[in-house]
Structures are given as C-alpha cells and as structure tokens.
C-alpha cells in the first residue's frame, strides 16, 4: 500500500508517496547513516536528476542501498541490478 507523508526539505514542505516497505527501509538507512529522515531525503533530493520525481529517487536510493549491502554471491546479477537502478 502506498503511504503519503509530508516532510520538510531545506525549509520547504513536500509530500512523498511511497510504499510502506520503502518508508521502513528509508528510516533504516537514515539510522545507519546517523542522519535524520528529513536529512536523508534532502540528500537524495539534491542528488537526483531533474527529470526524476522524488518518490522514484527514494525508491532507487533504497534499492541501491540494499544492493550495496548484499553479499556479492552472484556479482553478475548484482551488477545488472545496480545498472538498472542507475538508469532510473
């Protein structure tokens, strides 16, 4: 289920709609990086391409984080998934 939340990014409020598992993973990313959720979202926002919406950029950031923490059991598959995430 998609959950819509409001968050302040660099002093501006915005709404983000992503699935609950992505919210949970995003919170976990923020905890691992010892940064606030708003700080992490601001970082993702600053790095995203103008043509990519923020919700999509968050999903890609969560996927990339998960892939980077995944053991390299199948490096070829992992590399393909990371390449696909980079395209989005």
* pLDDT digits (tens), the chain, 88 positions: 899 999 999 899 999 999 999 999 999 999 999 999 999 999 999 999 999 999 999 999 999 999 988 876 555 555 555 555 565 4
With contact defined as beta carbons under 8 Å apart, do 82 and 66 qualify? no
Q: What is the pLDDT of residue 34?
A: 97
User: In 3D, which of 32, 5, 30, 2 has the Cα closest to residue 18?
Assistant: 2
| Phi, then psi, of 70 in degrees rounded to 5 | -75, 135
Q: What is the pLDDT of residue 70?
A: 83
Angstrom distance (rounded) from CA 51 to CA 19:
21
Q: What is the pLDDT of residue 83?
A: 59
Which whole-number Å values give the CA distances from 69 to 2, 16, 40, 63, 72, in the listed order? 25, 25, 17, 10, 9
pTM above 0.75, yes or no: yes
Domains of the chain with bracketed CATH? 2-87 (1.10.3990.20)
């Amino acid at each position: 289920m998609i959950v819509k939340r409001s968050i302040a990014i660099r002093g501006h409020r915005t709404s983000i709609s992503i699935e609950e598992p992505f919210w949970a993973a995003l919170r976990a990313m923020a905890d691992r990086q010892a940064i606030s959720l708003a700080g992490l979202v601001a970082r993702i926002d600053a790095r995203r391409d103008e043509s990519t919406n923020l919700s999509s950029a968050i999903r890609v950031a969560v996927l990339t984080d998960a892939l980077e923490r995944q053991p390299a059991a199948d490096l070829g598959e992992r590399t393909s998934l990371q390449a696909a995430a980079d395209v989005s």
